[in-house]
Amino acid sequence: MNKFYIFVSVVLIALCSPTTFAKDKGIVDEYQIIKANYVVQFKEGNYEEAYKAAENLLHIDPTDPVAYLKLIMAARELGIDMKVIRHNFAPWVSESNMKEQELKLIADMLIESPRVGLNLKNIGDTHSNLKK
What's the CA gap between 75 and 40, in Å, rounded?
16
117 or 29, which is more confident: 29
8 or 89, which is more confident: 89
124: number of Cβ within 10 Å: 10
pLDDT at 24 > cutoff 70: no
Contacts of 84 (CB under 8 A, 6+ apart): none
Rounded to two decimals, the pTM is 0.67
Q: Which of 52-56, 85-89, 110-114, 117-121 has the lowest mean pLDDT?
A: 117-121
Q: Which of 112, 47, 58, 111 is nearest to 89 (CA)?
A: 58
What is the pLDDT, as a whole number, of residue 19? 41
pLDDT at 18 > cutoff 50: no
What is the pLDDT, as a whole number, of residue 41? 98
Q: Are 118 and 87 in contact (CB under 8 A)?
A: no
Coil/strand/helix, residue 117: coil
**Structural domains of the chain in order of their starting residue, each with its CATH number:** 31-115 (1.25.40)
What is the pLDDT, as a whole number, of residue 132? 53
Backbone region of residue 79 per phi and psi (left: phi > 0; alpha: psi in -120 to 50; beta: other values): left
